[in-house]
Structures are given as C-alpha cells and as structure tokens.
Amino acid sequence: MPDHTLIRSCPHCHIDRTAFSYVAHNLVTGPLSVEKGCVSAKKGTVFNTLWLCNSCNKGIGIVLKLKTDLNTYVYLDQHSISNFEELETYPVIHNMVPDGVPARIANYYSDAVKTHGMKIYHASGKLCRQVLEFALADRFPKFKGSLYERIKELSGKGMLLTEMASWANEIRELGNDAAHADPFTREEADDIMLLTEYMLVYLYTLPGIIARRALKGSAPAGGGSEEP
C-alpha cells in the first residue's frame, strides 16, 4: 500500500509520533480493470490496510480511498499516501487523561500511560505514585506531611471516602514497589494504572460534572414557568 511507513500517534502505546510499517491490504470496493495483463485501480477504490507500530508492535487498521487512478495496482505499495483519502482508523484514539485534570498532573499521567504502553512498568508505576501525590496536594493544599500521613488525615476527616483512601494507599504501595521491587510485574503495572485513572476521575472529573450540572440547574429557564 502507499509508502512503507506512516508517522502518527499510537492508540496502544500512546507515543505521540511513532512510525507505523505497512503490512497488508485488501480490496473493499471500487472499480478495478485489467489491461494487457496489468491490474489498475480507479479513483474511488477503497482498501482496508494493516499497519504495525514500530514501538509496541501492535496493529491499526486504516480504510483508504483512492483520489486518483493508479495504473499499477500490483505495485500499490510503491505509491504515495497523497494518492489516498483516509476514511477511518481503528482503533480510535481516545483522550488518555480523564476530564478536568490540571495540565501539570495530566502531563505526568500521560507519561505513565506511554511508559506502560512501552512496557517500562517500573517507570509507569513510579509516575502513577507521583500523579497521586501531586493530585492530593492540588486538591487539598492545606494537608502536609508524607503521602501516607496525608492519606490517613484526609480519610480521618472525611475528605477521602474510606474506599478511596484504600485505593490511594494501594497506589502509594505499588508506586513504592515500582521504585524498589524487582521485578515489578505487568499485572502490578496494570493495577496501578487503573487505580490511578479512577482516582483522577474521583478527584477531578466527577466534581466537574456535579459543578456543571449545578450551574445548569441554577440557570434561569428559557421562558415558561418552572415545574415543581
């Protein structure tokens, strides 16, 4: 298919700009013709294509449509990507950071996601612990001391639900293991990533939703009387 590499973000390892190598393609629909033993593809022909990320070796599918006639379909891999219109890509890249997270903390969490995707599990685990530490300092700036002491005090004063304090301690302990234990396994890395994601949702995304709903509820109705 067109060119042999593409540069783009990977939905698996989340590296922003990485190379994808072309693997294979098949015809979806469109006019093909055979002239003098040579198969040619006409404008509008659609292909499914498979590409592999050079960083994590996981695949993506891209649906491409020809923007011009190609007289050498049998040598399609020699043609430029500029000859094609990209219709769809699978899987879709979603925002890796939960809504409402401040930029500085979001950057650390993004790095945790990327290193996890690259299978550098010690690094992702340590970064998750830092994310928790920075997030608690941001949301509860009056509470000082070690991370353990702050989690305990926040829980004791009802600022963190008992379950969330338990999650926070799991992140703290797994983060310590990431810094000191060998090996730090993929299972442990998966656990701390998931716990950290939901901790950020609890600390930032959910309060943002509640605040937005409250603001919407307090806005004057657009005509008519309010029903009880």
pLDDT at position 228 is: 40
| Cα–Cα nearest to 66, from 51, 52, 50, 80 | 80
Residue with tokens 């396994």: 185
How does pLDDT run across 63-106, given as a tens digit for each residue? Answer: 988 887 776 544 455 556 777 888 989 887 777 889 999 999 99
Strand partners for 53: 20
In tens, the pLDDT along 146-163 reads 999 999 999 999 999 999
Residue 53, amino acid: C
pLDDT band at 227 (very low <50, low <70, confident <90, very high): very low
Q: Which residue has the higher pLDDT, 176 or 92?
A: 176
Please give the share of the chain, as a percent, with pLDDT higher than 70.
84
Q: Which of 51-55, 64-68, 187-191, 199-203 has the lowest mean pLDDT?
A: 64-68
Q: Give 84's strand partners.
A: 66
What number is the average pLDDT over the span 5-27? 85
Mean pLDDT, all residues of the chain: 85
**Tokens coding 224:** 């008519």
Torsion of Cα atoms, 186 then 96 then 136 then 189, to 10°:
0
Where exactly are the structural domains of the chain?
5-90, 103-218
- Count the Cβ atoms, other than its own, within 10 Å of residue 221: 8
pTM exceeds 0.85, yes or no: no
**Sign, Cα dihedral of 218, 135, 102, 190:** negative
Task: State the fold for domain 103-218.
Answer: Four Helix Bundle (Hemerythrin (Met), subunit A) (1.20.120)
